[in-house]
Structure 1
Amino acid sequence: MTVTAPPEDESEQLPQVAHASWVARLKRLLPALSAALLGVLLYVSFPPRPLWWLAVPAFACFGLLLRGRGWKAGLGLGYLFGLGFLLPLLVWTGVEVGPGPWIALVLLEAVFVALTGAGIAVVSRLPGWPLWAAAVWIAGEAARARVPFNGFPWGKVAFGQADGIFLPLAAVGGTPVLGFGVVLCGFGLGEVVRLAVAGRRTRTVRRSAAIVALASVLVPVVGALAARTLVSDKAEDGSVRVAVIQGNVPRAGLEFNAQRRAVLDYHARETERLAAEVKAGKVAKPDFVLWPENSSDVDPFANADARAVIDEAADAIGVPISVGGVVERDGKLFNEQILWDPKKGPVDTYDKRQIQPFGEYLPLRSLVGAINSNWTSMVRQDFSRGTKPGVFSMAGAKVGLVTCYEAAFDWAVRSEVTDGAQLISVPSNNATFDRSEMTYQQLAMSRVRAVEHSRTVTVPVTSGVSAIIMPDGRITQKTGMFVAAHLVQKVPLRSSETPATRLGILPEIALVLVAAGGLGWAITAGVRGRRAGNA
C-alpha cells in the first residue's frame, strides 16, 4: 500500500517566495545604495567639520565596491558616488536662485565622477591597482577643473584636508599630489582589508600584493610627515602688520543701489573705527589695509561720492588700502581690486581673471533664458576677464591678489607667487550664500594654498568668515559671520618657493600619464584575454 504526502499549502509558499524576491532585489540595490552613502561619507569629511580622516575609509570602501567590476558598473556606481558627494557639498549654489541651478550643476559634475568610476573599475584588475586607481581619480579632478566653462574644481579631495596629516603634501606638488596621497591611502587600506579577509579564507596571500597594499597606505603618510620640513612660518623678508576689514552687509529691505552704497559705507566706517582705535593706542597701526571683494560695488571712478568715501577712510587710517570694486571701463564690466593710496588715490588695479560662470557671466544665455527667463536675471551684464596677475606693492611688501572664486584654481594662485608675491590676499564676497558651508569650504582652500606656496594668506570677506592664515595653514585670527569686525596682525613675508610652486602643473601631468598608462594596460590586457578566449 502506497502512502502519499498531502500537498503543501500554497498559501504558506507565497510569503516565502515574496521574501526571497525582496532579499534578491535588496542585494541588487545594495551596491548602488552603498555608492551613494560613501559619497555622503566623503562629503562629511569636508569643512566645516574637522573630520578629514573620513576620506580614507570612504575611498577604501569605494575601491572595494568597484574592484573587479566592469566599466559599465563602474560608470553607474561612480555617478551615484558623485551625487552622494556633490549634492550636499554644493547645496549653497542654490541659496539665492533656488534648487534648479544647484541640481543642474551637480548632475553635470557627477558625470566626471562617473567616468572616473568607470576608469577605476577598469584598472582594478591590474597588479598594484590602488596606484593606478588613485591616479585615475586625480585625472578626473584635472578634467573637472578645466571643462566645461573653464572648469569647476570645487570639491577636490585636497580641499577637505586643511586639518589633516596629509596637508604638507600640498607643498610637494600642490592639490594634485595632496589629493593623490589621500586617495591612494584609502584604496590601499581597502586592498589591505581585502587581502586580510582572503588570507583568512585561503591561508595564502601573495607577498608582492601585500607589500604593494601596505606601501599604498604607508607611503602617503610617511611622505606627508617628511614634507613637514617644507612647511614654515619663519619670516624670510621681514614682517608687516596687516589689517583685514569686514564691514558686513545690510540685511534685506534696501533697494539695489542703496544696498551697494550701504556696503561701501559699512567698510569705510569699520576702517575709520580701526583708525580711531589706532589713534587711542588700543591697536598698533597697520602697514596696509585689505578690503574684501565687492566692498565698493559703486564704481569709485565714475561716482564722486563713492570716491570721497574711500578717500576719507584712507586718510583716516593713513596707509594704503586694497579696495574691491565693480568698475565699468570702455563699456566692459570688471571685478577689480584697486590699490588706494591715502595721498594719491587709486594707483594700481587688478582685474579678476577667473570669473564665475552663472555668477559673473552667463554662458549659453539664450538657451538658459529659453529654459527659465528668470535665470537670466542672475547676471544682467557679463563681467570681462582680466589678463595679468595682480601683485600690489604695499608698504614695501608684494601682495598677491586672488579674488574669491580664483582660490579654487591652481594656476591662478601660483601665478601671483611666481610674479613675486610675498603674501597672498583672497578678497571674497560670500554674503549671497548666507550662512551656508560655502565660506568654510573656501576658507579651507585658502589654508591649503598657504601651505602649497608657503605664504601668509589673508581672507577679507564682506560678511565673514574673514581670517588670517599662517604659511603653515594655521588660522591665527578669524571673525564671525554677518558682523562688522577688523583683524590686525604682524605676519611674516616669504619669498622662497616650495617644490609645488616650482613644479607647477608637472605633478598633475605626471599623474594623468600614470592614469593613462594604467587604463591602456588594462584595456590591452582585456582585449588580448577576449581574443584568447575566442581562439
Structure 2
Amino acid sequence: MERLKALGRILPRLIVAVGAGALLGLAFEPHDHPWLAFLAVPLLLAALNGVSMKAGFLIGSGFGITYYAVLVPWLSIIGGDAAIALAILEGLFYGVFGMFASQALKHKLWILWVPCLWVATEFATASVPFGGFPWGRLAWAFADSPLGKLASLVGIPGLSFAVALIGVLLYAVLRRKSGLGLRAVALVGAIAIFGGASLISLSTEGNGKDVTAAMVQGNVPGKGLEFLGRARTVTRNHLTATLDLQKQVEAGTQLKPDVVIWPENSTDIDPYKDAETKQDIEEAVKAVNVPILVGAVLEGPGPNERQTTGIVWDPVKGAGQVYAKRHPVPFGEYIPFRDQLLPYIKRLEMVGRQTAPGKTPGVLPINGVTYGDVICFEVAYDGVVADVMKGGAQVLVVQTNNATYGGTGQPEQQFAITRMRAIETGRTVLIASTSGISGVIQPDGKVEHKSSQFVPDVYVAQVPVRDAKTLATTLGGWPQWILTGLGIMGAVLALFARRQRRDGPETPPASTPSREKVPA
C-alpha cells in the first residue's frame, strides 16, 4: 500500500518529466524550436526537486527516453525495436542524471552543479557504449541562435553548459524557495549570457588564399535501404554529374574547380580491385583534370572486413592518399559481438562485412591546401574533428551518405551538427552527400548552399583557406573535462550532504521546563 502511495506521489512528476523530454526533442531539427530547451530544463528540475534518488532515477529516465524517442525516430527505418532500444539506452543516462541532480538541487551550489552534471551526462552518452552516440547534445539546436557563437570560444560542451545554465537560472527565477535576491541575480545572469553571446563577432576572413571546390551529389536509385546493392548505378550517377560539370566549365558558365568532392559510398565497389569502377573514376578525373576526393568502400584489411574511405584521385598520379573512417557506426557498419548475435538476430546479416576502423586522422593535403576529411556521423564526435584540426586542416570536408534516412529528419539534424562544427572550428565546411543534404557552410555557420534531397546537385564554391584558430580549437577538450569534473564533484558533495542529513549526530532531548511555580 505504501508503495502505491509513493508511486501516486511520483506519477505527476513523471508526467511533467515526460512532457519536458518531448519538448526538448522538438527543439532540434526538423522541428527547430530551440527556445523549447529553456522550458524543458526548468520543467525537469521542477519534477526532480525534493525527491529521493530512486525517484530521481525514474523521473530522469522518463525524461530521457521520451527525449530520444522524439529526437531520433528516424532509426525506425532500421527497425522499430532498434529505435526503442536506443531511446531506452540513452534515456537511462538521464536517469543517472536525475538521480544525482535530485540531490544536487538540495546543495547550496546547485546552480553550478546541475549544468555541470548535464555536461557530464552528455559526455557519457557521447562515449559509451561502443564509442557513444553524441546526437542529443543541447548545443546542436543553436546554429541559428546568437548563443551558438559561444561554440567558437568554449566548444560544443561549453555551449551545452551555457544552455543548461540558462535553463537552471530560469528555474531559479520560478522556484518558490528562491528569494528575491536570487531571482534577480538569476534573471540578470540569463540575460547576460544571451547578451554576451550576441556581442561575439565571428570572422570569415582567410589567409589571403581561396580554393574553388565542387560538391557532387549524384543521387541514388531509390530511398531507404532500397538503393543498397546498386553500387554501379550510384558511381555512374556521380560520373555523369561530374562530366556535366566539366561541360559547364568549358562553356564558361561555371568556375573551374581546384578539387571535386564525391560523397561517402559514391562507389561501394573497391576501385583497386574492380576495373570497371576504376575506369569510371579515372574518366571523371581526366575530364575535370583536377583531383577528386572519392568516397569508396575498400576490401580488407582483414578477411571479411571492409573500410569506408576517402581517396584522393589525381589526374596524373592516380589513386593517392587514403583516409579510412575511424568511427564506424555499431550495428550499422559493424556488429559488436558478431559471432554471438548473428545466430539470434538474422537482420544483422544486412550489415555484411565488418567495417574496420582507420587509424589516422583525415588530414589530406591537396595542391597546397590541407583538407580535414570526416565521414558521415563522425562529424558529431569531438575527437575526430579535433584531430583533423590538430593536423592543420584549413578547410573541412564531410563526405556522407544519408540515403537510408532520407526524408526522416536525420539529414537535417546532421546538417545542423555540421553548422555548429563550422562555428566551433572557424572553418568552411564542404558537404557532399549521395542523395542530400549536400552544401557549403561558412566559418560563421551561415549556409551558403543547401541541396534538396533525392535530386542530383552540383555546387561550385570559392571558399577561404583559413589558418587562424578559434579559442575553442585551442582549448580542445579542456572545457568538457573541467565541466565534467565539476559535475562529478557536485554529485559527490551532494551525496555527502545527503548522508550527513540522514546520519547526522543524535542530539539529546531538550529538558522539559518545570511547571511548578517558583515561591515568592
Question: TM-score with structure 2 length normalisation?
Answer: 0.92
Render the CA deviation track for 1:161-190: whole Å, top value 9, x for unaligned: 111221011111211101000011011101
Amino acid at match of 2:54: K
| Alignment of 1:108 onto 2:89 | yes
Which residue matches 2:193? 220
Which residue matches 1:66? 48
8 Å CA contact 2:218–2:234 kept in 1: the answer is: yes
Further displaced range: 325-334 or 242-251: 325-334
Aligned-partner Cα distance in 2 for 1:402–1:61: 37
Render the CA deviation track for 1:479-502: whole Å, top value 9, x for unaligned: 100001111111111111111111
How much does 1:104 deviate?
Answer: 1.2
Aligned-partner Cα distance in 2 for 1:144–1:24: 30
How much does 1:430 deviate?
Answer: 0.5
How much does 1:27 deviate?
Answer: 6.7
Aligned-partner Cα distance in 2 for 1:67–1:118: 11
1:336-355 aligned within 5 A: 336-355=309-328
How much does 1:261 deviate?
Answer: 0.6
Which residue matches 2:459? 487
Question: Residue 378 of structure 2 is aligned with which of 382, 406, 422?
Answer: 406
Amino acid at match of 1:276: K
Aligned-partner Cα distance in 1 for 2:156–2:301: 38
Which residue matches 2:294? 323
8 Å CA contact 1:128–1:213 kept in 2: the answer is: no
Question: Residue 44 of structure 1 is aligned with which of 19, 22, 26?
Answer: 26
Render the CA deviation track for 1:304-358: whole Å, top value 9, x for unaligned: 1101101111111111110000001443411110001122211111011011101
Question: Residue 189 of structure 1 is aligned with which of 170, 174, 199?
Answer: 170
Q: Pick closer, same or farther for the CA change 1:219–1:522 going to 2, 3 Å.
A: farther
Amino acid at match of 1:511: L
8 Å CA contact 1:293–1:325 kept in 2: the answer is: yes
1:271-290 aligned within 5 A: 271-290=242-261
Which residue matches 1:251? 222
Q: Pick closer, same or farther for the CA change 1:48–1:176 going to 2, 3 Å.
A: same
Which residue matches 1:93? 75
Aligned-partner Cα distance in 2 for 1:158–1:69: 28
8 Å CA contact 2:13–2:59 kept in 1: the answer is: yes
Render the CA deviation track for 1:405-458: whole Å, top value 9, x for unaligned: 111100100110110110000110000113111101110111000000100001
Aligned-partner Cα distance in 2 for 1:249–1:74: 47
Aligned-partner Cα distance in 2 for 1:254–1:185: 41
Which residue matches 2:445? 473
Amino acid at match of 2:42: A
Further displaced range: 467-476 or 359-368: 359-368
How much does 1:237 deviate?
Answer: 4.2
Further displaced range: 507-516 or 125-134: 125-134
8 Å CA contact 1:50–1:163 kept in 2: the answer is: no
How much does 1:376 deviate?
Answer: 2.2
Which residue matches 1:363? 336
Which residue matches 1:514? 486
Which residue matches 2:17? 35
| Alignment of 1:445 onto 2:426 | no
8 Å CA contact 1:237–1:495 kept in 2: the answer is: no
Which residue matches 1:150? 131
Q: Pick closer, same or farther for the CA change 1:162–1:114 going to 2, 3 Å.
A: same
How much does 1:216 deviate?
Answer: 4.5
Amino acid at match of 1:312: E
Further displaced range: 456-465 or 52-61: 52-61
Aligned-partner Cα distance in 2 for 1:443–1:426: 10
- In structure 1, the gaps of 5 or more residues are 1-22, 200-204
Specify the SS of the correspondent of 2:322: strand
Which residue matches 2:284? 313
Aligned-partner Cα distance in 1 for 2:421–2:21: 25
Amino acid at match of 1:348: Q
Aligned-partner Cα distance in 2 for 1:420–1:440: 28
RMSD between aligned alpha carbons? 2.2
Amino acid at match of 2:252: G
Which residue matches 2:117? 136
8 Å CA contact 1:64–1:191 kept in 2: the answer is: no
Aligned-partner Cα distance in 2 for 1:117–1:499: 32
8 Å CA contact 2:154–2:479 kept in 1: the answer is: yes
8 Å CA contact 2:224–2:405 kept in 1: the answer is: no
Q: Pick closer, same or farther for the CA change 1:432–1:257 going to 2, 3 Å.
A: closer
Amino acid at match of 2:455: V
| Alignment of 1:54 onto 2:26 | no
How much does 1:282 deviate?
Answer: 1.0
8 Å CA contact 2:307–2:357 kept in 1: the answer is: yes
Amino acid at match of 1:421: A
Which residue matches 2:517? none
Which residue matches 1:6? none
Aligned-partner Cα distance in 2 for 1:154–1:255: 25
Further displaced range: 246-255 or 467-476: 246-255
Which residue matches 1:10? none
How much does 1:254 deviate?
Answer: 11
Specify the SS of the correspondent of 1:284: coil
Aligned-partner Cα distance in 2 for 1:330–1:512: 37
Render the CA deviation track for 1:488-528: whole Å, top value 9, x for unaligned: 11111111111111111111111012112211221122222
Amino acid at match of 2:262: W
Further displaced range: 486-495 or 26-35: 26-35
- In structure 2, the gaps of 5 or more residues are 508-520
| Alignment of 1:435 onto 2:407 | yes
| Alignment of 1:77 onto 2:49 | no
Aligned-partner Cα distance in 1 for 2:71–2:438: 21
Aligned-partner Cα distance in 2 for 1:462–1:345: 23
Render the CA deviation track for 1:91-117: whole Å, top value 9, x for unaligned: 11121x321222111111111111011
8 Å CA contact 1:478–1:487 kept in 2: the answer is: no
8 Å CA contact 2:234–2:267 kept in 1: the answer is: yes
Aligned-partner Cα distance in 1 for 2:196–2:95: 29
8 Å CA contact 1:52–1:161 kept in 2: the answer is: yes
Question: Residue 203 of structure 2 is aligned with which of 217, 232, 237?
Answer: 232
Further displaced range: 479-488 or 161-170: 161-170
Specify the SS of the correspondent of 2:503: helix
Amino acid at match of 2:306: L
Question: TM-score with structure 1 length normalisation?
Answer: 0.90
How much does 1:220 deviate?
Answer: 2.8
Specify the SS of the correspondent of 1:74: helix
Following TM superposition, the consecutive aligned residue runs of length 4 or more in structure 1 with deviations greater than 3 angstroms are 23-28, 252-258, 329-332
| Alignment of 1:531 onto 2:512 | no
8 Å CA contact 2:223–2:404 kept in 1: the answer is: no
